[in-house]
Chain A
Amino acid sequence: AQKVTQAQTEISVVEKEDVTLDCVYETRDTTYYLFWYKQPPSGELVFLIRRNSFDEQNEISGRYSWNFQKSTSSFNFTITASQVVDSAVYFCALKGNFNKFYFGSGTKLNVKP
């Protein structure tokens, strides 16, 4: 069974604060991919990052960074120095042996000026 859990339903921060969005996953597949998507109010899901199960290196892209830990089945996402434009719903997703995404329930991030 494939499952993604995002325990944080909603987070509010003040601009310039750092914020971490948690993602925990379950899968029996040995090869799988993890993704983060951003959903702004306009509705489309915007791809942010992909990670495969064999690559546990952390990744940094500008203000965004991702921490993949296979031992705890977690793939957390940190935004450094948050900005108002970061306000959106963020989804973590898992893809295993079958070509379909399993999404978490999302974390709504509110960044206040």
Chain B
Amino acid sequence: GAGVSQSPRYKVAKRGQDVALRCDPISGHVSLFWYQQALGQGPEFLTYFQNEAQLDKSGLPSDRFFAERPEGSVSTLKIQRTQQEDSAVYLCASSLFTSSVGTEAFFGQGTRLTVV
């Protein structure tokens, strides 16, 4: 597809369950970002990849959160032992360039995670 694709669009998990969220970036985009958006808030940075290298994971809230991009394209965000405070929309974004801070990012529609 032409845009960033995320799956599933909606996920309901029981507390304590592990979840995996998938992101298919725009083909050829080098940079990939994960953001967490709580209800009524702006997106908050989780982690950033340049190709397969995870260059910044400073936003991951705990060691239950893990992200990977093994072949430099598709990325997976995994949350282990989910808790209610993990409920949020998880947004993935990709951008073409690497070092240019001026490059805009293209966002997917997000995965809405609800932990019950």
Residues of A within 8 A of B (CB): 4, 6, 31-33, 35, 37, 42-47, 50, 52, 91, 93, 95-106
Contacts and interface: CB of A to CB of B under 8 A. Distances in A.
B44 A50 contact: no
Contacts of A42: 109
A79 to B, nearest CB: 19
A104 B11 CA distance: 26
Q: Most chain-A CB neighbours within 10 Å: which of B41, B48, B56, B102?
A: B102
Interface residues of B, number: 30
B18 interface: no
B106 A47 contact: yes
Interface of B: 3-4, 31, 33, 35, 40-45, 48, 55-56, 59, 89, 91, 93, 98-99, 101-102, 104-110, 112
Contacts of B102: 33, 50, 52, 95
A23 to B, nearest CB: 11
B33 A100 contact: yes
A101 B109 contact: no
Contacts of A33: 101-102
B41 A105 contact: yes
A105 B112 CA distance: 18
A47 B104 contact: yes
A32 B101 CA distance: 7
Given A45-B43, A99-B48, A101-B45, A50 B104 contact: yes
Contacts of A100: 33, 45, 48, 56, 59
A106 B89 CA distance: 15
Contacts of A47: 104-106
Contact of B42 (A31, A46, A50, A91): A91
A106 B42 CA distance: 6
Given A44-B107, A100-B56, 11 more contacts: A4-B42, A44-B109, A44-B110, A45-B43, A46-B107, A47-B104, A50-B102, A101-B43, A103-B42, A103-B43, A105-B42
